Structure 1
Amino acid sequence: MAKPKLLVSLLLIVITAIGFGNAAWLSVKAELAQVLIKRAWTETLQTGDQVRPWQWADTWPVGRMVHPNSNTDLYILEGAQGNALAFGPGRHANAGELGSESSVIGGHKDTHFAFLEKVNVGDALQLQTLDGVWHPYRISAKRIVDIQDQDLHVQLNQKRLYLVTCYPFHTISQNNHVRLVVELEPS
């Protein structure tokens, strides 16, 4: 009778070790991705070329964003689809170029854009563009939008920056259609 209990105990230990190992591996991959994205951004600024963080990447860094109040420093990737958003906030391709036109950047509420929960109107944010220039912005509005009932109200003919993430924070929902939109104006 002791052997089945021992086997079950060993099996549970192995399953637990595999689970923790997988979680640790995901964490290591996420940290490595940030190192590679930072390196690609540095090379992009030096060469002016689009540099992919790894050979098979289908995205590349197009900007950098710093929110001093929350000590947030993020690299913005091209594209706001899932493959880019897994590694950082992404610039919506249909919006304008960063720093010169209205731009929309999307990010996950539980990772890169978690800091948006605590930002305030008036907060400063710096945006570095492909030419290496830093552009100062201030948060001018925060609003909640149900995208089933209304659009995001992005003004494309003005120099604005829009940060968009799912809302509310700290909830799990597969069909979430509510967004937090943080609007920034040049300062």
Structure 2
Amino acid sequence: MPRFISPLVLALVGAILFGDGVYIHAKAWFAQVLLERAFDRSVATGQTVKPWSWADTWPIARIEVKRIGASTIVLAGTSGQALAFGPGHIDQTVDAGEHGIAVYAAHRDTHFRFLRNVAIGDVIEITRRDGRHFRYRADSSAVVHFDASGIDPATEDAELVLTTCWPFDAVASGPERYILHATLVGNGG
């Protein structure tokens, strides 16, 4: 009898782990559906729409890099809960399209995984929840220490920074950040 218990226990543990992995991916996929729906309703109504009733954040923008097929919804703030579901807008920075620097941060292994494929010169499109659309061109990137970003919030230009942890392939968190800088090149209204 003990011979059969060990394979049975291993099979049960494997099934539980597999189910947990499926659940996490299903939850993430469903959250993205709810975020897209809430963002679209925000644009249509001009009102802040939370993706689910207990959310502590809401969609404020959509980032698209069409050359590589990337699209993600940006959330208000950078709390741990917000970053679990999408990029967050750093509170102390301006909205996209305004004079100053709009800064969005996200995890390197999920919502900003696509940053590794963005090239200098690529167009980054931002649609805000008020329906206004802005086009930025990626003009530089850097790897910096987390407390030495070099971002100048007092700039008079309209700029965008997308930031995530570095290196992209790391398993553990570290002190370095990848910063992609872009400058406003067009306003679609």
* Residue of structure 2 equivalent to 1:97: 95
1:72 paired with 2:66, answer no
1:59 paired with 2:54, answer no
Please tell me the residue identity of whatever aligns with 2:5: L
* Residue of structure 2 equivalent to 1:129: 128
Name the SS of the counterpart of 1:173 in structure 2. coil
- Partners of 1:41 and 1:156 in 2: CA distance: 29
- Partners of 2:172 and 2:18 in 1: CA distance: 25
Contact kept, 8 Å, 1:96 with 1:156, in 2: the verdict is no
Deviations 1:45-104 (A, max 9, x none): 111111110000001000011001210011110012221111111101111122213210
- Partners of 2:8 and 2:26 in 1: CA distance: 26
Offset of residue 27 of structure 1? 0.6
- Partners of 2:41 and 2:90 in 1: CA distance: 22
Q: How does 1:19-168 map to 2 (within 5 A)?
A: 19-101=17-99, 102-148=101-147, 150-157=148-155, 158-168=157-167
- Partners of 1:12 and 1:130 in 2: CA distance: 49
Contact kept, 8 Å, 2:42 with 2:130, in 1: the verdict is no
Please tell me the residue identity of whatever aligns with 1:64: R
Offset of residue 153 of structure 1? 2.1
- Partners of 1:109 and 1:37 in 2: CA distance: 19
Unmatched runs of 5 consecutive residues or more in structure 2: none
TM-score (ref. length: structure 1) = 0.94
Offset of residue 177 of structure 1? 1.1
- Partners of 2:116 and 2:34 in 1: CA distance: 27
Offset of residue 154 of structure 1? 3.2
Contact kept, 8 Å, 1:140 with 1:184, in 2: the verdict is yes
**Structure 1 moving runs of 4+ over 4 Å:** none
Q: Percent identity?
A: 33
Aligned residue-pair number: 183
Please tell me the residue identity of whatever aligns with 2:107: H
TM-score (ref. length: structure 2) = 0.93
- Partners of 2:127 and 2:149 in 1: CA distance: 27
Contact kept, 8 Å, 1:154 with 1:162, in 2: the verdict is no
Contact kept, 8 Å, 1:144 with 1:180, in 2: the verdict is yes
